[in-house]
Amino acid sequence: MPLKAPFVALEFLMKSFINGMDFQMRLYKNDLTPNNDTVLADFVECDFSGYPAGGIVIPSFPSGTLIPPRWVSSGSPLTFNHDGGPTLNVVYGYYVIWMAQNEILWAERDPLGPKTMQALGDSYIVTPRISCRSEF
């Protein structure tokens, strides 16, 4: 049975979640469409020249906004840059891990299609977003 939380509880639950965890965003280079059975080992992390090994720590999420029936929070955009070195990747999307447990929390395949990161000036920008929906 799905959790049935009123809006006030939904906001409390999500604020507790985002304030109590450290998140890290990573890009992946394998042709994968994440689904309910996806695990961390399914992703092949990017390694293009200039990519920060282990991804980028998501500094914080703001308190969020209730847009019934969802509570939504968006972080600041994160930018991954190619530094002009010899290694290129095709980026298919991103995934977010819980740093303390090294566990996947969510992932998204890029809806605009994969992007090749191969030359100085190539960048990949992702705005981290999290939401939770009330079943009421």
Closest to 13 measured CA to CA, from 48, 64, 56, 54: 64
Percent pLDDT > 90 in the chain is 57
Three-state DSSP at 107 gives strand
The secondary structure of 69-85 as a DSSP string is: TEEEEE---EEEE--S-
- The pLDDT, as a whole number, for residue 125 is 97
pLDDT at 13 over 60: yes
Task: List pLDDT tens digits, range 37-66.
Answer: 999 999 999 999 999 999 999 987 777 888
pLDDT at 116 over 60: yes
Closest to 72 measured CA to CA, from 61, 58, 83, 57: 61
Examine residue 69 and say whether the peptide bond preceding it is cis (omega within 30 degrees of 0): yes
- Block residue for tokens 């891990």: 97
Task: List pLDDT tens digits, range 71-100.
Answer: 888 889 999 999 999 999 999 999 999 988
Average pLDDT score over the chain:
90
- The pLDDT, as a whole number, for residue 28 is 98
pTM of the predicted model as reported, rounded to 2 decimal places: 0.88
Provide the token pair at 104: 């996947």
pLDDT at 135 over 90: no
The residue ranges of every structural domain in the chain are 7-133
pLDDT at 4 over 80: no
If one counts every other C-beta atom within 10 angstroms of the C-beta of residue 114, the result is 14
